[in-house]
Structure 1
Amino acid sequence: MALWEDFKKFSFKGNVIDLAVGVIIGAAFGKIVSALVADIVMPVVGLVMPAGDWRNAGMVLRPGATPKDDLILKWGDFLGTIVDFLVVSIALFFIVSRLVKGLEKRLEGDKPADTRECPSCCETVPVKAKRCKFCTSELPSATAQAA
């Protein structure tokens, strides 16, 4: 029975639930980005490339007795996978790096400051401090400094 209790504690920790939600959202987002790449970006790339169906491009290295026995180097599929990766990477960069960081900054902006600057030595000290820990000068009260 102790094993079951340990498993329940592990399974329902906040970090495990957060990770599970993150994986599910990541999978859903991956489908969206894959659809964007396959349905919008790759047709445009196909128009730019000399051959329209370039993902199926390849080279027969060793012809066999039948087409099933051929050894084919599928360089078109490999290049398509690289383009897919680059587009997904760029999309993730803009979404994660730009949007999420911007939202975090907005949310952090609403919090009151928990540190302030010492007027004598310009070091950062807690708001509640009455004396600077660096230069030991007395600090004005936080309400007097805010006004």
Structure 2
Amino acid sequence: MLKEFKEFAMRGNVIDLAVGVILGAAFGKIVSSLVGDIIMPLIGLLVGGVDFSGLSFTFGNAVVKYGVFIQTVIDFVIIAFSIFLFIRLFNKMYTREKKEEAPPSLTKEEELLTEIRDLLKSQKL
């Protein structure tokens, strides 16, 4: 059983997943700092210095902190947009590399064989 567990834990996809989780957590900290330390203060300046997290109202004995909810929604939108931009950039780089690896051109024999194949296909119809 120990040997099976070791094989499972050391599979490539499990290790890749662990690396992804660790990098995701680090990226999350970066984005959280970007949102909390840079973007939200600027948004606060634009709306007159209002700190969303302090917005609340009292309903009976309960304190409803709707500002924290607004702050969380804005954080989510900014984080989602940041991840979108990162994935978009990654996809552009990936497709650019694929374009550079264009398939080799056909030889004259291959072109002739392709034409013959296409003619035979058209005659079957």
What is the TM-score with the length of structure 1 in the denominator? Answer: 0.69
Structure with bigger strand share is 1
Unaligned runs of 5+ in 2: none
After superposing on structure 2, the runs of 4+ consecutive aligned residues of structure 1 that deviate more than 3 Å are 130-137
Q: Between Structure 1 and Structure 2, whose CA radius of gyration is higher?
A: 1
SS for the counterpart of 1:35 is helix
CA RMSD of aligned residues (A): 2.6
| Equivalent AA in structure 2 for residue 81 of structure 1 | T
Q: Which of 91, 97, 122 is 1:107 aligned to?
A: 97
Deviation at 1:56, TM superposition (A): 1.1
Q: Aligned residues: percent identity?
A: 36
Deviation at 1:114, TM superposition (A): 7.3
Aligned partner of 2:24 in structure 1 is 26
1:98-121 CA distances to partner (integer Å, 9 max, x unpaired)?
x101110122123242797xxxxx
Unaligned runs of 5+ in 1: 63-69, 117-126, 138-147
Distance in 2 of aligned mates of 1:102 and 1:40: 27
Structure with bigger helix share is 2
What is the TM-score with the length of structure 2 in the denominator? Answer: 0.80
How many residue pairs end up in the alignment? Answer: 117
Q: Do structure 1's residue 58 and structure 2's residue 42 form an aligned pair?
A: no
| Equivalent AA in structure 1 for residue 80 of structure 2 | S
**Larger RCO of the pair (alpha carbons < 8 Å, separation 6+):** 2
